[in-house]
Structure 1
Amino acid sequence: MRPQPGDLLRIDGRASVQFAGDRALTFRVVSVCPKPTYTGWVWLTGYVIDRRGQAIDRREIFVQLAGLFPATSTPVPRISRGTRPYASRNDQGYGAAARGGSGVRPRADAR
């Protein structure tokens, strides 16, 4: 397999002994070095992808072409449920006043 930028690969002991066993990783290819190396080997630049689908480390790796295989499943980045990218105008955390859109906050000393 000749990797291309954007490919998601499973790098393990088949690609190089340094990735054998629990050192295997999922790797998103950014670039493939065009310079000649040993026959059947290639330098790849890319990102190590964690189980949540997020890039955690940029690396350059030297691997055997015959040992490269596509990752079996594509991890998908997820946004946690506890965070939102932005809050709405009325979402100020003041209960009914905020939900009602009146723009008036209830005061603790109001009668």
Structure 2
Amino acid sequence: MKPNPGDILLVTRAASVQFAKPIRFRVIRALDWTTYDGWAWLDGYELDARGEAVARRTIFVQPAGLRRPPHVRASRARAPPAHTGTQPRRPTCGNGVDTRR
């Protein structure tokens, strides 16, 4: 598998022995660094169970061992908050004092 930017991958021991505990990983880019045949450096984010980035990482893997995790959402776009019809809260400086003049 050739990883592309935006791909969400399951990185397991099949990709590298350091991943005895599998991680989900969102690819930023495949780095063009000289390395061993069949291996690649990937730059991206480790994801938690909700699909949120928890750490930026650069990993050394065998692309042939990478898999797509089940149930990956196609879009990471978030919906804008719904209008509640109430006035927004005034910003404060942490002690309840209105900071607007």
Distance (whole Å) between structure 1 residues aligned to residue 39 and residue 60 of structure 2: 7
Q: Is 1:31 paired with 2:29? A: yes
Residue type of the partner of 2:4?
A: Q
Where do 5+ consecutive residues of structure 2 fail to align? Answer: 88-101
Hey, what does 2:86 align to over in structure 1?
91
Deviation at 1:66, TM superposition (A): 1.4
* Matched length: 85
Distance (whole Å) between structure 2 residues aligned to residue 73 and residue 48 of structure 1: 17
Where do 5+ consecutive residues of structure 1 fail to align? Answer: 93-111
Deviation at 1:35, TM superposition (A): 2.1
More helix by share: 1
Distance (whole Å) between structure 2 residues aligned to residue 33 and residue 19 of structure 1: 19
Q: Structure 1 vs Structure 2: percent identity of aligned residues?
A: 45
Hey, what does 1:16 align to over in structure 2?
16
Distance (whole Å) between structure 1 residues aligned to residue 68 and residue 4 of structure 2: 11
Please state whether the residue corresponding to 1:66 is helix, strand or coil: helix
User: 1:8-36 CA distances to partner (integer Å, 9 max, x unpaired)?
Assistant: 1000110011101xx21000000101122
RMSD: 2.3
Poorly superposed stretches of 4+, deviation over 4 Å? 84-88
Aligned residue runs from structure 1 range 16-95, under 5 A: 16-20=16-20, 23-74=21-72, 85=81, 88=84, 90-91=85-86
